Structure 1
Amino acid sequence: MLLNLPCTIAPRWRRLALMTLLLSGLGTSHVHAFVLDWSQVTWNTGSPSQTFSDVQGSGIDISISTTLAGGFYNTPTQDNNQNLNLFPDWYSNNGASSYIDVTIRFTRTVTNVSFSFEDMDRGNISGSRPTRYYWEDVIERANGWNGSSLVTPTATDVGSNILIDTTSRPGDVLYRGNTNLNWSPDGSFTLNWEQPVDTVSFRYSSGSRAQSNPAAQVIGISNISFHSAVPEAGTLWLGAFLLAALALRSIPRVPELLRIRTRSVSENS
């Protein structure tokens, strides 16, 4: 009997295992791409921060906050080129004391966060300080987090006007505007966080090559794209129901076990 019972039941469990593998695909997360499109939303005038709810039906809210130090500005504004503009006038060229910190938070973990910086440049040589520029745009301290885990971005589509500085501050990368191009594609670059994050941030600061009291300057932040791994809830429930049904059907009933036992005893007599 002990030899015959597994042979009788095993095919059922093999079928159950096969169906389990097939149904596990029903619960696989599907990747969806979404965009916070500046042409489709409005930044409230005079507000240093704002939350955009359920971006493109993703079920994800995006909160953007800006913190200014060492200067003044009219808070973020939108332009006709689908950018969110930061327009500061800093008191000094010390990036450690004159800057705007920007933090972008998602209400749940996302992947492939990506956006570009536009109009990254510097002014012409200052007439009073021939070794200094009127201003210098710098992006630094660009990081992401997944909970408490640090996620470092990669830079792509770096324009010829962007100077990537890896030596001025050990452990950080500074992206400097290197000529005065006025919204040229050569003055742009893109940061990408492919790995899961719930927060990304960067600092827009005055470059040390600017004059001591820089002129007003501006950069643009492009549309923000991201991916969300969203499980299909209905499919998960269906998969669970089918697995339960298969499991119940794969358990031999008591009469069937008795028939197996009787047949096995007869064959061994």
Structure 2
Amino acid sequence: MIAMYDSGLGGLSVWRAVRAALPAWPITYLADQAYCPYGPRSREEIIERALKISRYLISQGATILVVACNTATTAAITAMREEFSLPIVGIEPAIKPAAAMSQTGRIAVLATEYTLASERVQTLLDAHAEGVDVLRRPGHGWVEQVEAGELSSERTRALVRQVVEPLMGENIDHIALGCTHYPFLEPLIREITGDAIRLYDPAEAIARRVDDLIRQHGVDCQGDSYYRFITTADDAGDMAQRLLQLIGHPYPVESQPLN
């Protein structure tokens, strides 16, 4: 079984890609909505949550684990790989392809403040963006708007416009999305950028990586395809509504607080 988790619903953008690439596989998705957003939390707290969630998902039969959250990957994936032996896939902003394809030598990365300030992002910049100006911009309030299902409200438009409009005068030609919530706001970003700027969502690359690891490790899919959704919030009803909105299907949702 493929297990994936995020601080909330953003990882559903990755879930869509993994499901499309591996339709025969059962997938369990856990949204840590009781602790969302992760951005303001300490590294120690994010690691503690990552280990607790991983133990739970492994107890439920996970044979491969996807951390569908940039902030959690940045803070906790090293600790997870030290503790657990199953294949673990993390996610990071697509800085490498954006920088490689840039014609203007200027790109932007949109992510949470935690991710943008991380050593992991700095390592990506050092390795893949030499000679390219990379503008790091946090999407303040974007995660919360996606969690609330406000994908096209005037407030969401204003928050997106506040970040993206100034970039239009910066001669950038690529934007790397460094938070899994942000692809759900792509239509609003496109209202500002049009087709002049390419957006990079790493979800399909993550799906390919999951497929590669399954083949390398000879992992068996263990049964018929099914999709299970879990929230750490006390009320599962809100997430159930969001599933219809974000992935087009009203799957049942379980509540598992993991306190």
Q: Classify the TM-score, shorter chain.
A: under 0.3
Instruction: Give the number of the structure whose residues are more often helix, by fraction.
Output: 2
Q: Rg bigger for which structure? A: 1
Q: Report the TM-score when normalising by structure 1.
A: 0.24
Instruction: Give the number of the structure whose residues are more often strand, by fraction.
Output: 1
